[in-house]
Each structure stands twice: as structure tokens, then as C-alpha cells.
């Protein structure tokens, strides 16, 4: 009995082979394929003919038009294979909703995370953050993604959903400046106090330094040398790379002049 009921339900949803117009269906598929091919050829051509400022507004229309053609094809094919009754349409709509729910669960999670991010504010426009291994300045916040610009001037869209599983590192958290760190590795046989004074003077004479924030030198002894970390703040977050470069190059030159010897950490090898 269950098999008969299932077969009856299937036969009520789908048309019989005698009713299906395969020639019409094949004609629609062929027409859709030709339209998609035409879109793929014409849109890039059109983008190459217009002025450069309009090029990136035209190119995104290619995938949009292709999706629209496929959606229209599906709507045209549906009544060819399916009995267009209210019950059948509701059954198909329910199955489609379940399938779309699974397909867009990550999208929905990012939307919810976007609302949470707007409320908790783990990052905001202008912050320098690292999310999912991407470090950059937050340019704008959408409901689904945060748009970051990396130090290499690359824009990266990071889904808000990563805040569920990834730590968010915020370097300035709304402040105008942030801490920059320059690392130095010296041979342990040296005058540590002299090295600290020299590194402090390098930071205090930098044109990028924010004098209202502290300058700190942290030293840690390692088996292969002494690790110094020079910590200071520039005036602007966007000066962080120029500031770190200025500290590194000038300190490196002065350390060499002062008779300090740089060392490198040994490369870790396998084995017990």
C-alpha cells in the first residue's frame, strides 16, 4: 500500500510521458544556452567600448543576466514536466525552501552575525583588524560582510559569520592611533642598558611619533640571543608601516655603529 501511494503521488505531480513536450523543452534549453553565450560575449565587448569609469559597472551584469536567464528557463520548463495544480506548486515550493535553507545557511549565519557585530561592535569603520588571517583597515560594514583594505591596497570582503569561529584582533578599537612594534635580535654579550637607551632615542626622534603616548622597550633573553621589542605609537593608524620602517632602519644603523651584533633565531628542525 505505501508503495502504491507513493507512486500515485509522484504520478499526480509529474506529467505522463505522453503529455511531456520534449521538443519544446529542448528548444527552450537551446535558446537559453544561446542567450547565455551571447551575454558572455556581448557584456565584455560592451565594457571594452565604453569609457573606463563605466567598465566596472557593466561587467557585473554578466552573471546577473545569466542567473536571470536560468531562472526564466526553470519557470518555463516547470509546467512542461509538472502538473500546475495548487497542491503540486505548494509541494515544490516547500521542497525548494528546504533546499534553499541548506544552501544559504552560511549566508543566513553571516546576516545574523552582521546584526550582532553592529550591536557589539567588535570592529567599526576605520579600525585596523585581523579577521580570518586577513589584516587591514575596515572600509565599510554591510549586513553580510565587512570590507577591509589590506596594506597591499587590496580590498577583501570578510563574512561577519567568521566572528562565530575566529578570534577578532582589533589594533586600535576606534582610537586614532595604535601600537607599533619593531623587533631586534642581538648577540647576548652586550650592554643591555645602552641598547635600551639607543632604541628609546630612535623612537623619540621619529617624525611619526605621538609624544603623548608611551615609548617602551621590552627585552627577553633567549638561548640564542636577546630579543628587544620597541613599542611606540604613531600619530595616525595609517602611518603604522612607515613608522615601523623608520624605527627598524634607523635603529639597525645605530646598533651597528654602536658595536652591537645582530643574530637570527635558529630554524626549528624535526625530531625529538
- Tens digits of residue pLDDT in 157-183: 999 888 888 899 999 988 888 999 999
Q: What are phi and psi of 247, to 5 degrees?
A: -60, -45
More confident residue, 47 or 266: 47
At 7, is the pLDDT very low, low, confident or very high (cuts 50, 70, 90)?
Answer: very low
- Separation in Å, CA 227 to CA 45, 217, 220, 255: 58, 10, 5, 13
Closest listed residue to residue 125, CA positions, set 142, 143, 144, 138 = 138
Does residue 8 carry a pLDDT above 70? no
d(CA 104, CA 109): 9
In this prediction the pTM is: 0.64
At 124, is the pLDDT very low, low, confident or very high (cuts 50, 70, 90)?
Answer: confident
Does residue 3 carry a pLDDT above 50? no
Does residue 34 carry a pLDDT above 90? yes
Does residue 2 carry a pLDDT above 50? no
The per-type count for the chain, helices as H runs and strands as E runs, is 8, 8
Please say whether the beta carbons of 49 and 65 come within 8 A: no
At 113, is the pLDDT very low, low, confident or very high (cuts 50, 70, 90)?
Answer: confident
Amino acid at each position: 500500500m505505501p508503495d502504491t501511494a507513493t507512486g500515485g503521488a509522484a504520478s499526480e505531480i509529474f506529467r505522463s510521458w505522453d503529455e511531456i513536450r520534449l521538443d519544446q523543452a529542448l528548444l527552450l534549453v537551446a535558446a537559453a544556452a544561446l542567450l547565455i553565450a551571447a551575454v558572455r560575449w556581448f557584456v565584455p565587448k560592451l565594457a571594452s567600448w565604453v569609457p573606463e569609469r563605466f567598465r566596472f559597472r557593466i561587467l557585473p551584469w554578466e552573471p546577473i543576466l545569466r542567473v536571470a536567464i536560468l531562472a526564466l528557463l526553470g519557470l518555463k520548463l516547470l509546467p512542461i514536466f509538472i502538473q500546475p495544480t495548487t497542491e503540486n506548486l505548494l509541494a515544490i515550493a516547500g521542497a525548494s525552501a528546504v533546499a534553499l535553507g541548506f544552501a544559504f545557511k552560511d549566508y543566513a549565519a553571516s546576516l545574523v552575525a552582521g546584526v550582532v557585530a553592529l550591536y557589539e561592535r567588535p570592529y567599526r569603520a576605520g579600525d585596523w583588524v585581523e579577521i580570518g588571517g586577513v589584516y587591514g583597515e575596515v572600509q565599510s560594514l554591510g549586513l553580510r560582510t565587512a570590507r577591509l583594505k589590506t596594506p597591499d591596497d587590496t580590498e577583501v570582503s570578510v563574512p561577519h559569520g567568521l566572528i562565530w569561529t575566529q578570534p577578532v584582533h582589533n589594533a586600535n578599537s576606534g582610537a586614532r592611533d595604535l601600537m607599533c612594534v619593531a623587533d631586534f635580535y642581538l648577540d647576548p654579550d652586550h650592554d643591555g642598558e645602552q641598547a635600551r637607551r639607543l632604541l628609546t632615542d630612535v623612537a623619540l626622534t621619529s617624525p611619526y611619533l605621538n609624544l603623548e603616548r608611551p615609548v617602551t622597550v621590552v627585552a627577553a633573553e633567549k638561548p640564542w640571543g636577546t630579543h628587544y621589542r620597541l613599542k611606540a605609537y604613531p600619530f595616525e593608524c595609517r602611518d603604522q608601516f612607515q613608522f615601523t620602517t623608520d624605527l627598524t632602519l634607523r635603529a639597525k644603523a645605530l646598533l651597528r655603529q654602536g658595536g652591537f651584533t645582530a643574530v637570527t633565531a635558529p630554524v626549528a628542525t624535526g625530531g625529538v
